[in-house]
Chain A
Amino acid sequence: MESPLFLPTLAACRLLLAWVQLPVLDGLQLDHQLTSPLTSYFRLKEGLWLYHHGVDPYLGGVLKHSPLFLSLFSTVSPGRVAWALSDIVGAWALVRIWHSRQQLGQSRRDGLVGAAYLLNPYILLPSLASSTSTFENAVVLLTLMFAAEGRPSPALLALALSIHLSLSTSLLLVPVLMLLVTSPTSRLASPRPFGGSYWMVFKYASEFVVYWSVLVCAASIMAGGVWNWMHESWGASLILPDLTPNPGLWWYFFTEMFDHFRPFFLMVFSTHLAIYIMPVCIKFQHDALYAAFLLLGILGTFKPYLTLADPGLFLSMFAVFPEIYPYLRHAVVTALLHAHASLLLPLFHALWVIEGRGNANFYYAASLVMGVAGGAGIVDACFAGMRIAIGNGSEAERGKWEVVQQ
């Protein structure tokens, strides 16, 4: 794991996997844990087919992807290599983030960080299932990488792209802007007030708006209209038209709800996501990368149309913050909760959909376990991030904070 050849080998293995035909893969593509209507490869293919036959792909309510996916995959045929490459790019970005956080070129942990992304089952399985969340994750990591390396324009473009691909990612806007004007190094242990210049933030924000509007233009040109694709792809995460079950917390609420409460609760659920931005960014104003990490955790728990790839990104990013490990209070509990959730989700899904013995409540119970696991991860990371500031410095200082048991 410490040899410099480890990562390339891993990447080569991942590429090889793209050529291996496994009989399981076809089943994976339809798995509700791994793909949601927003990321489903089947729907993308359907959209491409409609597009090639001169039908507006956004009319039937099938395609909920961004038009940019259409333009990408109508020029490049969507092979599984694309997903493998995207995974490798993501892993590479994660390693680069790690480098710039530690301010060094090479380190012995590189292999571990890369493996945390490439070997994470929550990342690997959706990628094998050809879920487009793989691309979204890679773009998010690229955003953070560019921002951490202090390259504002690429970072802002990547951010614009990732928000364009998945609207929920807009949670990252504030921390990325903050990260651009501060340094990515770990300041968790020595918090201090936000030191960046607000003028620069404003400048970057306007640059972001420009990129974003150009992307919207490009997408509208591709889709041959403005309203249709926006309503279908961005609207989907706001008004939740498709209630296909997923490991997230939204769908069940809205299947059970009376129609006249829907708009109100859609508003509540969406606002609930946005509510976290400010507290997290204020509390961790000294370490914007950490704030972004926590917000990814929030997305990985409360996002509409959650798939396993979302908590997977959060879990993989733990590798970048080794300094918090000693302060995690219940890492094992979180791990066990995830183990439970990842066993229960497919089991209850099969029990409900395939065998017909269970019902939706079973699966929802499993997705609640998933939610609790995600919540536990966030709370723990949040606590550790704050606890580290107190520090354990010298033995003498440590004594003051000791909890004594009798």
Chain B
Amino acid sequence: MHWLQHLSRHCLLLLACLSALTLAIPQEERVSNFFGRHTGTSGHTNNWAVLVCASRYWFNYRHMANALGMYRTVKRLGIPDSNIILMLADDTACNARNQFPGSVYAKAGRHLDLYGDNIEVDYRGYEVTVENFIRLLTGRVDPSVPRSKRLLTDDRSNIFVYMTGHGGNEFLKFQDNEEISAFDIADAFEQMWQKKRYNEILFMIDTCQANTMYSQFYSPNILATGSSEIGENSYSHENDNDIGVSVIDSYTHFVLEFMEGINKTSQVSMQDLFSSYDPVKIRSHPGVRSDLFQRPLESALITDFFGGVSQAEIFPVIEDADTTTQHIIRVSSPDHVVPPDPVSPQAHNGQDFDKANATAVMPQKDAVALDVRWRDIRKWTSIVIVGFLVGWVSLVR
């Protein structure tokens, strides 16, 4: 107990020193520090991954395998399940055509089951829609949406966005039903930037004409890469003859292969990944877009996006306290000004109930008889009116 108290005291001291230090730094320098944080290291404090497989049906097995392959990699490199949003448009593992129920493999020979026993699919089946994806990114979700389906990022989050499916020039199909366009994603990223929902984004996409998908981006700090140029198809890598379908796409296969050599402490940079692209082996020309990204690719580590960081950032205490109290006052004030009135709607309901009870109390038979009589009256009135009209017309000359 004693040493613990000591420790806490030391910590407080340290904090005080730090805050004193930061306060001592002139304003200008702080500003430049803030905006210049992308020149050197990433400056992020947490990592997130959004992995989307946008196509369903058994013959698109490989897209599910792509996304699951990425899932396994980011999880291995340290992003926890709570920070991974996995969207799978279909459940191939449980498809009746799957010879190996409950398993998804990404390689012929089936050595590694990607589905395994520890997997969390956040959006599945028909939940994988364009709307849900954009809501997820921009954070405009319904209050009832659970935590596991939200992207709870801040301005110090590095996000890895991976998409795969069937696409074309500036669009990606979702479930053979709707499309997301390059503009939609670009606008969603801009909104995220304005809402301070990210620090840096790595956007990776494996589909036909994938490079068109990031052509419309205009928000800062986005590094994008895709599997094929405009007018070029992305091909599947190999086929497992027992499963009977292609199990993985070429581009994703080689990216994953590269990732197998990386561990949490690797100092391998994004540039190394991009240099490893071999258009001959991949059978398409992968592209990279780094003009929005403000760091040199050599200094951007793979683990900046694929790994989970455990760094912390410390804010000065005083400023913080100030804003929070203000916040509390601002938020709480409307509650007092306009108190909710829970009584009136209940009263209404009560009245309605009384009415309903009154009608229900009436004997069933009578109600039916009345109803039938009323219908007959309606019928005969209409007939009499028409008959009267006909009679009138035939009499008038």
Contact = CB atoms under 8 A, between A and B. Distances in A.
* A and B touching (Cβ–Cβ under 8 A): yes
Interface of A: 51, 54, 67-68, 70-72, 74-75, 151, 153-154, 156-157, 211, 214-215, 217-219, 221-222, 224
B381 A221 contact: yes
Nearest to A158: B393
A354 B371 CA distance: 43
B375 interface: yes
A222 B393 contact: no
Contact of A218 (B371, B381, B396): B381
A214 B389 contact: yes
B382 A214 contact: no
B382 A219 contact: yes
Given A51-B375, A54-B372, A74-B379, A221 B385 contact: yes
B389 A71 contact: no
A153 B396 contact: yes
Give chain B's interface secondary structure class: helix
A5 B372 CA distance: 48
A54 B382 contact: no
Interface in B343-397: 368, 371-372, 375, 378-379, 381-383, 385-386, 389-390, 392-394, 396-397
A74 B396 CA distance: 29
B9 to A, nearest CB: 68
A74 B378 CA distance: 11
Given A218-B381, A218-B382, 17 more contacts: A54-B375, A67-B382, A71-B382, A74-B379, A75-B383, A153-B392, A153-B396, A156-B393, A157-B393, A214-B389, A217-B385, A218-B385, A218-B386, A218-B389, A221-B382, A221-B385, A222-B382
A156 B383 CA distance: 18
A75 B379 contact: yes
A226 to B, nearest CB: 13
Contacts of B397: 151
Q: How large is the interface on B (under 10, 10 to 19, 20 to 34, 35 or more residues)?
A: 10 to 19
A319 B152 CA distance: 78
Contact of B385 (A54, A70, A214, A224): A214
Contacts of A215: 385-386, 389
B359 to A, nearest CB: 14
A67 B375 CA distance: 13
B382 A154 contact: no
Contacts of B385: 214-215, 217-218, 221
Contacts of B381: 218, 221-222
A233 B33 CA distance: 71
A221 B372 CA distance: 15
Given A54-B371, A214-B385, A222 B390 contact: no
Given A153-B396, A154-B394, A211 B389 contact: yes
Interface of B: 368, 371-372, 375, 378-379, 381-383, 385-386, 389-390, 392-394, 396-397
A95 to B, nearest CB: 20
Contacts of A70: 379
Given A54-B371, A224-B378, A157 B390 contact: yes
Contacts of B389: 157, 211, 214-215, 218
A70 B381 CA distance: 13
A386 B344 CA distance: 74
A128 to B, nearest CB: 27
B375 A68 contact: no
5 contacts: A67-B382, A153-B396, A154-B394, A215-B386, A218-B389
Nearest to B376: A74
B384 to A, nearest CB: 8
A65 to B, nearest CB: 14
Contacts of A74: 379
Nearest to B367: A54
Contacts of B392: 153
A153 B393 contact: yes
A165 to B, nearest CB: 12
A305 to B, nearest CB: 24
A75 B382 CA distance: 11
Contact of B379 (A54, A154, A211, A222): A222
Contacts of A54: 368, 371-372, 375
Contacts of B396: 153
Contacts of A224: 378
B379 A71 contact: yes
Contacts of A154: 393-394
9 nearest CB pairs, A to B:
A222-B382, A218-B385, A218-B382, A153-B393, A71-B382, A157-B393, A153-B396, A154-B393, A221-B381
Contacts of B383: 71-72, 75, 218
A115 B370 CA distance: 49
A222 B386 CA distance: 11
Q: Choose among B381, B382, B389, B394 the residue with the greatest number of A CB atoms under 10 Å from its CB.
A: B382
Contacts of A157: 389-390, 393
Contacts of A156: 393
A74 B368 CA distance: 18
A401 to B, nearest CB: 46
Contacts of B371: 54
B372 A68 contact: no
A180 B381 CA distance: 31
Contacts of B393: 153-154, 156-157, 211
A156 B394 CA distance: 11
A67 B381 CA distance: 12
Contacts of A214: 385, 389
Contact of A68 (B378, B386, B394): B386
A313 B397 CA distance: 29
Nearest to B385: A218
A102 B394 CA distance: 24
A157 B391 CA distance: 11
A211 B388 CA distance: 11
Contacts of A211: 389, 393
